[in-house]
Amino acid sequence: VGPHIPQHRYLIDTIAGGSVIQGSAGEAAIVAFLAAITKKTTSVRQRLFQSDGTCFPTFCSRDNMVVFSSDQAHAIVKKACMVLGIGHHRVIPTSKENNFAMNSEDLRDAVSEELAMGRLPVAVVATTGTTSSCAFDPVQAIADVCKEFGVWLHIDAAYGGAYACVPELQPLFSGLQQVDSFVVNCHKKLLCPFDIAALYVADRGPVLQALSLQPEYLRNAASESGAVVDYEHWQLPLGRRFRALKLWFVFRRYGTDKIRLHLEKGLALSAYFSSLLMGEESEQLFELAVPVSLSLVCFRLKGRSEEDQKRFLYNIKATGDCFIIHTKLADRMVLRFACGGLEQSREDVYNAFKVILRVAKEM
Ligand SMILES: Cc1ncc(COP(=O)(O)O)c(C=O)c1O
């Protein structure tokens, strides 16, 4: 993917790491959290049983565990906590001043507070390309906090991860070498049809410990000799679809250079769209809600009420010529224009802008 991604750490034939295709970023988060829980409870057990093991059951009960993410993390984080019965999801607030990225000092304070309350921090989720505004949490600084407290760091790179292969964007991903796991959705920017999410783990041990079972009817010589990798031990279901095939076709059809060009085209189009919004003809009408990030442009009608923003969105969709969806940032409604579709051209973006401009002028 890119030189900064330490492939040697994540490939199956290395000492510790590994990678596996999952169905979605949501499933990948569940697998990562299971591994995090296993790793944490194993280390706590070792520590406690050397002294007094009596508090282990309460301290290590899932009710007492806590997972951390920013308020911009995707809902998969909360859902993974719900599914696994993790008692607490500590949400770190973000702010416009920090472009809605997590502040690592706030994270450090939150982890310390949870520990002081007697809770067991098991995992932190940082996002490189949040869903609402494509914010980038600072991976390196967050990795330092996680290391300090011995907490598993999972990176949700579902949307943004593919852009790591664009050389100029690599600084956005620095620190990825330090994380425990990260996931990239190939069904987002890597041109595959749904569903295929690549999960990387720096240490496959806790994943296998959490998910391996060997019932009699699955015993076979190849597995027992270690000649094959049984991916059933890396995921929730037993059976697997042959998802790798569609990724293989994409790589055969495009190759890494053309995938990079495709991503760069999305970046150029988002820059183009924002230049139209902020151009002479329109800058009185629109404002950018955050600086453009990757292929996403978040904008609002300038100086208008929340009701107007809603009506604006409704009116744009009602034209049937342009489809955009909204989010809320700091409680304010924001419209999101996504660039980077495979067949999207500069002309398409210009035409969409014309629709948006017309609707804005009519308001
Ligand atoms: C940052 C991020 N994480 C996770 C998801 C959810 O992905 P999946 O449907 O693969 O679980 C999305 C989807 O929009 C996303 O943008």
Q: Return the H-helix or E-strand segment holding 252.
A: helix 244-277
Is residue 44 over pLDDT 50?
yes
Q: Is the pLDDT of residue 14 over 70?
A: no
Mutate to test the pocket of ligand 1, among 30, 69, 76 (most ligand atoms within 8 A of CB): 76
Mean pLDDT, all residues of the chain: 93
Burial class (CB in 10 A: 0-12, 13-18, 19+), 78: middle
Q: Tell me the pLDDT tens digit for each residue of 311-363.
A: 999 999 999 999 999 999 999 999 999 999 999 999 999 999 999 999 999 98
| CA atoms of 210 and 108, how far apart (whole Å) | 27
Query: Which atom of ligand 1 has the smallest separation from the CA of 197?
Result: 10
Ligand 1 centroid distance, CA of 207 (Å): 21
- Quick one: average pLDDT of 174-195? 94
**Residue 99's pLDDT band (boundaries 50, 70, 90)?**
very high
Question: DSSP states of 17-71 as a string?
Answer: -EEEEES-HHHHHHHHHHHHHHHHHHHHHHHHHHS-GGGHHHHTSGGGEEEEEET
CA distance 213 to 237: 12
For ligand 1, atom 14, name the residue with the nearest CA.
131
Asked whether the predicted pLDDT for residue 3 surpasses 60, the reply is no
- In the chain, beta strands by DSSP E: 18-22, 65-70, 88-92, 120-127, 152-156, 181-185, 197-201, 286-288, 296-301, 325-329, 332-338
Instruction: Please determine, for residue 1, whether its predicted confidence score (pLDDT) is greater than 50.
Output: no
CA dist list (Å): 95 to 101, 103, 120 = 7, 9, 27
pLDDT at 11: 52
- The percent of residues in the chain predicted with pLDDT above 90, rounded, is 85
Which two three-digit tokens encode residue 105?
A: 């000092």
Q: What is the pLDDT of residue 281?
A: 82
The confidence score (pLDDT) of residue 43 equals 87
- Which strands, in side-by-side order, build the sheet including 332-338? 286-288, 296-301, 332-338, 325-329
How far is Cα 1 from Cα 69, in angstroms, rounded to an integer?
Answer: 25
- The string of pLDDT tens digits covering residues 54-83 is 677 788 899 999 999 999 999 999 999 999
**How many whole angstroms from 183 Cα to the centroid of ligand 1?**
10
Ligand 1 pocket member 131 (CB < 6 A): yes
pLDDT per residue as tens digits for the range 187-216: 999 999 999 999 999 999 999 999 998 899
pTM, rounded to two decimals? 0.94
* Statement: residue 4 has pLDDT above 70: no
Residue 195: asked if its preceding bond is cis (omega within 30°), the reply is: yes
CB count, 10 Å around CB of 213?
A: 8
* Tokens (6 digits) for 264: 């760069």
* 100-154 per-position pLDDT tens digit: 999 999 999 999 999 999 999 999 999 999 999 999 999 999 999 999 999 999 9
Task: Indicate the range of 2-11, 89-98, 223-232 predicted with least confidence.
Answer: 2-11
Whether residue 219 contacts residue 28, with contact meaning beta carbons closer than 8 Å, is answered with no
Beta carbon of 72 within 6 Å of any ligand 1 atom: no
139 contacts 128 by C-beta, under 8 angstroms = yes
